[in-house]
């Protein structure tokens, strides 16, 4: 909402001051949440201040609020990696699809033998959201120059049905 929040309260990280650049360059087709206006850089990242330290939680667009709790894609990826899936081989996508809170786990590997365990972990952590697993080929997770997953592009592909033939839905349990 553009107002300062108290210490310990999660909000968007906004930076201003002499060290902020005078401009910000994005690609024309960018879906970036980052913007620069009147010397204030809205980073698009969620975080909070505690004990004089800034804690960065993740991208605002990479989170989903379910039953008053904010879930971040990165936290779900860590939970999946705990089952033995290499962290670089999964990108979690979060959003509302057809009016339903939806979690999509996009994997860069063949169908996993632990798919049921992955579904169980995601169902427990997402409290009733629809959970979809997508097993795609190598290189299907597009990354930023720093190696982080670009989540908006595959989310758009999912919502447009382009990933449907590779998906296994937890809601139906079918391919």
Query: pLDDT tens digit string along 115-169?
Result: 889 999 999 999 889 999 998 888 888 888 778 888 888 888 899 988 765 555 5
Burial 14-39 (b: 16+ CB within 10 A, else e): eeeeeeeeeeeeeeeeeeeeeebeee
4-56 per-position pLDDT tens digit: 888 988 888 888 888 877 665 554 444 455 666 777 787 778 889 999 999 98
> How far is residue 169's CA from residue 158's CA, in Å, rounded to a whole number?
12
pLDDT of residue 28: 44
Q: Is 83 helix (H, G, I), strand (E, B) or coil?
A: coil
Q: Is 96 helix (H, G, I), strand (E, B) or coil?
A: strand
Residue 107 CB-density burial (10 A; 0-12 exposed, 13-18 middle, 19+ buried): buried
């Amino acid at each position: 909402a553009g107002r300062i929040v108290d210490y310990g309260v999660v909000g968007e990280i906004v930076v201003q001051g002499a060290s902020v650049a005078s401009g910000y360059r994005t690609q024309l087709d960018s879906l970036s949440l980052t913007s620069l206006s009147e010397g204030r850089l809205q980073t698009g990242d969620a975080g909070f201040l505690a004990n004089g330290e800034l804690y960065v939680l993740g991208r605002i667009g990479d989170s989903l609020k379910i039953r008053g709790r904010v879930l971040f894609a990165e936290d779900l990826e860590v939970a999946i990696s705990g089952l033995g899936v290499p962290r670089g081989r999964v990108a979690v996508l979060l959003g509302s699809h057809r009016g339903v809170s939806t979690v999509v786990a996009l994997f860069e590997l063949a169908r996993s033998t632990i798919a049921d365990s992955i579904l169980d972990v995601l169902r427990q952590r997402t409290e009733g959201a629809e959970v979809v697993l997508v097993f795609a080929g190598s290189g299907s997770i597009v990354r930023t120059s720093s190696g982080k997953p670009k989540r908006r592009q595959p989310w758009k592909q999912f919502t447009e049905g382009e990933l449907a033939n590779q998906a296994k839905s937890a809601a139906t349990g079918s391919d």
